[in-house]
Chains A and B, each alone.
Chain A
Amino acid sequence: MKRLLDWLDHRTGVKKLTHEVLYENVPGGARWRYVWGSTLTFAIFVQFITGVFLWMAYSPSSQTAWESVYYIQHQMTGGWLLRGIHHFTAHAMIILLALHLMQVLIDGAYKAPREVNFWTGLVLLVLVLALSLTGYLLPWDQKGFWATKVTTNIVGISPMIGPAMQKLIVGGADYGHHTLTRFFALHAGVLPGLIVAVVVGHIYLFRRHGLTPKQPLRRRDAAFWPDQVLKDTVACLGVLAAVLFLIVRPRLFSADAPLGAELGAPADGSEAYSAARPEWYFLFLFQFLKYFPGESEVWGAIVIPSLAMVGIFLMPFLGQWKLGHRFNIGSLCALLLGAGLLTYLAYAQDRADPSYQLAVRQADQNAERVVTLARARGIPPTGALELLRDDPLTQGPKLFAKNCASCHRFDGHDSRGEVPTETHEIRTGETLAGIASTNQMTVQALRDLNPRLGDKLVPGEKLAVHPPPTAADLKGFANRDWIAGLLDSDRIVSAHYFGGTKFKDGRMARYVTKDVARFTPAQKEQLKEVIVALSAEAGLKSQAEPDRRDGAVIEKGRQRMTNDEMRCTECHQFHKPDEDATGPDLTGYGSREWLVSFISDPAHTRYYGKRNDRMPAFAQNQRLTPHSIELIVDWLRGDWHESPKDTLK
């Protein structure tokens, strides 16, 4: 063994090198404040290791980036752990960089002759930030996609070369495959290469000038090994423990929370994402930008941050001035405090912003949903976005809110929890109570909606109101409860059913309010059978079990609909062609086919014919594609993929 070492040493000088590495003099002995440089080296090592392994499963293109990260995170053995370590070590590095910079500045380790070493450190800081920025885009999820778009747009506003730079970084006019290939090459090739080169220089210069000890020296000088090495390894282990804690942290609060780094829903350039935020360490810049409206953005985004960077670069020179050192420390503290304050403001404003909270909730729902679908069905070759675009549960509420909610409601709102609002211009002589009652609101609700409203109404001023629905509430359409409400003399003319439509004065409403209201108890029992039978026409997923159980009742109800007792077929067609039918066809009422055709053209003779009240034919003039209509219908009918776990809930 010894001979082998001697041989190696003769050829390489390894003994001397090891000796130099291990027995560097530490003036005043080992101290905890010297550990930050080592923890950063350790973090870079961890990022290289985990990064190369992640590379083996990552695929940079707009149809495979999210998909491969999904597979890493949710399918591969230990993928969540590996990705979690890579993700949270990146976060840890930001904190370690700040600590290292502070220690160097406070201990005066940036002053002559160590200026160049200080600058290489600043270059490393910028390189690490660039790695964070490029890495944020690679999973190609909504969050990273939209946040990075903001960054590249900022590049675009820089004077002169901005637009060309932006195009070069993005790899074209818009985000796509080449954005990912470029960012990935930067993230896994160019930047790590530069980091290695600069780290080597940084450590070389550090060794050349030696450690800058904190005065006064408390102990005798000691060698780097083993005292300082032990302190360094303890610190590295501490960093690792913090990272591992952050990976498992979500599980401490909820048993089925996802472990490790977050993965949002796949990027969708056609769907603006208002919850887009940069990672926490860039939030201060994000917040800072809010104070620079319009044309002045370039100041907040580029000029001032660059000047601050230049200021830090010049610190070794400022330090030569009598009060320079204190000035430098003061400036850095002011910068860090300012950044901290801006970060706090950014968080506080988001917390107080309901529309941001709603966007985050929807983003979380989409992220969870797409994983459920990907697990159950696999991902089509066109990408995971298709899973969400074809999913009634995801698209139904959006389509309903956009196309249906101006007249209809879903459980009293627009299906996403918001009640549509309109502006009402106050006319002379109107009272608050009057406006409230025409909109079927309470005065208090009206006041809540318009917090600035004074006691006196000024004609010509505008008020926000919730207009009453002008068509039926479609939650649970065609299920037993819904039909029972329609056939209830107290409810049919309410806003929930025909109240907002002209059908409130029609024959059906008359039949229910006059005839059904006078039903004998025996007839009421028969009506229940009719309700069950009519509802069974829809074939709803949620009623599959009761429909199967009540076969006999359904059969009886069907007979009652067609014979003279209930008089349904006086106006409606039911399983038998009837040219004289004036009301909508009840054959297959509420079924997928029935609803799709109905929404496509409600004025068709099969439905309302000439009696149709304002509802547009959605299939005409490309108001909605056939696929969109199907999505709305499947969602209204509660027909979407459910994983076994969802049904347990």
Chain B
Amino acid sequence: MDDSPHTPSSDRREFFKKASAIVLGGVSTAVPVAAGVQFLLDPLGRKAGAGESIRVTTLDALPVDGVPRQFSVVAGRSDVWNRYPASPVGAVYLRRVVENKIEALHAVCPHAGCFVDYVAGQSGFLCPCHNSRFALDGRISDAKSPSPRGMDTLEVEVRNGNEVWVKFQNFHAGHPEKVPVA
């Protein structure tokens, strides 16, 4: 087995050996690295459990005269492997528009995320942080309001005649568009 160096066939064999070593070494290294990278990217494939309907209250609890009332939204919360018992996750204003028609507004100001107050005397909402003013239906009522959009409306439905269910979602604050946090 004595090959004299630098014949064309031995060059070819050398090249083949080098190429094989690089490819095989590369594969061996790539497998654990690829498994790790795939694992690392796991969060990208997960969506926040946004937009689940939550039973908030009963129809009877809403005044018939159309005055909005604040309700806390109670839901279970998940954090990776943990599921926590139901606890308040946010608040909504509910208002009877007509007999069975209800409007729901997210109680958080779309400007900077403060909780908005209902001001009975002015029949509208006022954000105590930067004085944004909103009408009963959530639209900006004062042109000087710093909020980039009106209060966020939420989907609401009455189930089984008396239960009020709200599809509760959070939206990014500070943008003119209403973009869900997902």
Chain A residues proximal to chain B, CB less than 8 Å? 42, 45-46, 49-50, 52-54, 56-57, 64, 67-68, 70-72, 75-79, 81-82, 85, 219-220, 225-227, 229-230, 233-234, 236-237, 240, 244, 374, 377-381
Contact = CB atoms under 8 A, between A and B. Distances in A.
Contact of A70 (B18, B24, B36, B81): B81
Contact of A81 (B27, B35, B82): B35
B7 to A, nearest CB: 16
Contacts of B35: 50, 53, 78, 81-82, 85
B25 A233 contact: yes
Interface of B: 1-2, 14, 17-18, 20-21, 24-25, 27-29, 31-33, 35-42, 45, 78, 80-85
B18 A82 contact: no
Contacts of B25: 229, 233, 236
Contacts of B78: 378
A53 B84 contact: no
Contact of A233 (B1, B28, B41, B81): B28
Contacts of B2: 220
Nearest to B38: A78
B80 A236 contact: no
B81 A79 contact: no
Nearest to A228: B21
A85 B33 CA distance: 11
A81 B39 CA distance: 9
A230 B17 contact: yes
A67 B82 contact: yes
Contact of B36 (A50, A230, A377): A50
Contact of B18 (A75, A76, A226): A226
A385 to B, nearest CB: 13
A176 B78 CA distance: 25
Contacts of A374: 81
Contacts of A234: 24
A79 B24 CA distance: 24
B27 A379 contact: no
Given A226-B21, A230-B17, A233-B28, A49 B81 contact: no
Contacts of A236: 24-25, 28
Contact of B38 (A42, A52, A72, A77): A77
Q: At the interface, is chain B mostly helix, strand, loop or mixed? A: helix
A379 B82 contact: yes
A136 to B, nearest CB: 20
Contact of A71 (B17, B28, B36, B80): B80
A79 B39 contact: yes
A237 B14 contact: no
A50 B34 CA distance: 10
A46 B25 CA distance: 12
Nearest to A71: B81
A380 B39 contact: no
Given A71-B81, A229-B21, A374-B81, 11 more contacts: A49-B32, A67-B82, A68-B80, A71-B80, A76-B39, A82-B38, A230-B21, A236-B25, A240-B31, A377-B83, A378-B78
A82 B36 contact: yes
Ranked 8 nearest A-B pairs via Cβ: A378-B83, A53-B36, A233-B24, A78-B38, A230-B21, A233-B25, A71-B81, A226-B17
A144 to B, nearest CB: 18
A49 B36 contact: yes
B47 to A, nearest CB: 14
Nearest to A42: B28
Contacts of B31: 85, 240, 244
B24 A237 contact: yes
Contacts of A230: 17, 20-21, 24
A226 B14 contact: yes
A361 B141 CA distance: 69
A174 B82 CA distance: 26
Nearest to A383: B82
Contacts of A378: 78, 81-83
Contacts of A82: 35-36, 38-39
Nearest to A86: B32
A219 B1 contact: yes
A86 to B, nearest CB: 9
